[in-house]
Amino acid sequence: MKLKMMLLLFICSSCFAKCNSQQKAPVVKITVDTGYTYHNGSVDGIGKFYLSREIAHVMGASGSEWLERDDRNKEENTNLAIKKISVPPDGVIADIGAGTGYYSFRLSAKVPRGKVYAVEVQDEMIGYLRDKKKALKDTLVEIVKSSSLSPNLPENSIDLAIMVDVYHELEYPKEMLQAIRKALKKDGKILLLEYRGEDPSVPIKALHKTTVAQLNRELMANGFRLNYKGDFLPIQHFLLYEKIQ
Alpha-carbon gap, residue 161 to 117, rounded angstroms: 9
Quick check: 25 pLDDT over 90? no
Quick check: 110 pLDDT over 80? yes
Alpha-carbon gap, residue 194 to 238, rounded angstroms: 7
pLDDT for position 177: 98
Residue 62: which pLDDT band, with cuts at 50, 70 and 90? confident
pLDDT for position 161: 98
Q: What is the mean pLDDT of residues 63-77?
A: 95
Residue 23: which pLDDT band, with cuts at 50, 70 and 90? very low
Q: What is the mean pLDDT of residues 111-127?
A: 97
pLDDT for position 101: 98
Task: Tell me phi and psi for residue 5, to 5 degrees.
Answer: -65, -45
Q: What is the mean pLDDT of residues 191-202?
A: 98
Q: What is the mean pLDDT of residues 232-236?
A: 98
Q: Which domains does the chain have, with CATH numbers?
A: 59-243 (3.40.50.150)
pLDDT for position 32: 53
pTM to 2 decimal places: 0.86
pLDDT for position 8: 40
Give residue 7's identity as a one-letter amino acid code. L
Alpha-carbon gap, residue 207 to 200, rounded angstroms: 12
